[in-house]
C-alpha cells in the first residue's frame, strides 16, 4: 500500500502508522523525502508527527524545517520547538516567541541542549499519550 501511494502526505501517514506499530524506519525515509520536496507538507499536521521520533532527531528535523522555503512550515517548526522546550503552549505570534531560529541553529550541536530537547520531546509525547 505504501509503495503504491503517490501522494507524499498519504505516504507519510501510512509510514507514521508503521512507525507507531513497530518503529519501521520507512517513516524516517518518508520524513526525509517530504522535507526534500520542500513544499508546505510540514505546515501543520505532519510537523507534529516529527515528534513521534521521540528523541533528539525530532529537534534536529524541526531545526532543519526552519530553513524550508514555505513560511508557514518555518513558523510551525519554530512554534513546536519553543513549545516543546518550554513545556507549554504559546498562542503568540512567531516573532514574539522566546526563541527565534538563530537560537536553535546555534545550539543544535550543543550536547546539553540535545539532551534537554530529547527529554522535552519524550515528556511532551508522554503527556499527549495520557491525554494532558
> Cα–Cα distance between 27 and 114 in angstroms, integer?
22
Domain boundaries, the chain: 1-37, 43-129
Residue pLDDT, tens place only, 92-120? 999 999 999 999 999 999 999 999 999 99
- Classify each residue of 107-117 as buried b or exposed e, where b means 16 or more C-beta atoms within 10 Å of its C-beta: bbeeeebbebb
pLDDT band at residue 39 under the 50/70/90 scheme = confident
37 neighbors 19 (Cβ within 8 angstroms): no
Average pLDDT, the chain: 94
Residue range 11-38, pLDDT digits in tens: 999 999 999 999 999 999 999 999 998 7
Amino acid at each position: 500500500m505504501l509503495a503504491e501511494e503517490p501522494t507524499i502526505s498519504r505516504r507519510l501517514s501510512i509510514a507514521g502508522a508503521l512507525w507507531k506499530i513497530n518503529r519501521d524506519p520507512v517513516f524516517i525515509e518518508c520524513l526525509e523525502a517530504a522535507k526534500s520536496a520542500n513544499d508546505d507538507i510540514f505546515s501543520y499536521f505532519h510537523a507534529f508527527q516529527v515528534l513521534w521520533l521521540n528523541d533528539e532527531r525530532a529537534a534536529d528535523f524541526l531545526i532543519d524545517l526552519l530553513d524550508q522555503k514555505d513560511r508557514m512550515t518555518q513558523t510551525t517548526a519554530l512554534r513546536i520547538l519553543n513549545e516543546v522546550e518550554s513545556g507549554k503552549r504559546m498562542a503568540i505570534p512567531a516573532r514574539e516567541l522566546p526563541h527565534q531560529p538563530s537560537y536553535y541553529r546555534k545550539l543544535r550541536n550543543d550536547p546539553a541542549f540535545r539532551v534537554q530537547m530529547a527529554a522535552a520531546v519524550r515528556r511532551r509525547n508522554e503527556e499527549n499519550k495520557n491525554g494532558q
